[in-house]
Amino acid sequence: MEHSLVTYPAIVEQGAQQTRVHFPDLPAADVVDADYYQALMRAQLGLAIVIIDLESHHEPVPAPSEPTTLAPLLNTPEARIELITTDLDEY
């Protein structure tokens, strides 16, 4: 079985009330959740859905940015860059 793993950098900001996961390359996959781990799980799902949707409409899927280029987007001390990997064959 062949797997279609994709990895995109995301800006993860964990606050007191919520965790926000922002994909600069694919903002339609952004998620917000009260729970950190739930937010990461939903980010994996959202990333897969957005990429599959783009591909199904024969639209270009942007290449993942180099994580180091995203440092200027870290607006708060709580924000950090994380790599989110999902398997497109799972969805």
Say what the pLDDT of residue 3 is. Answer: 59
Which pTM value belongs to this model? 0.92
Fill in the DSSP letter of residue 64. P
Instruction: Round to whole Å and give the CA distance between 33 and 8.
Output: 19
Residue range of the domain that includes 12: 5-87
CA-wise closest residue to 10 among 30, 37, 28: 30
Average pLDDT over residues 2-19: 91
Identify the CATH number of the domain in which residue 20 sits: 3.30.160.250
Identify the three-state secondary structure at position 20.
strand
Say what the pLDDT of residue 91 is. Answer: 84
Whether the pLDDT of residue 1 is over 50: the answer is no
Q: What is the pLDDT of residues 23-68, one digit of tens each?
A: 999 999 999 999 999 999 999 999 999 999 999 999 999 999 999 9
Q: How many domains does the chain have?
A: 1
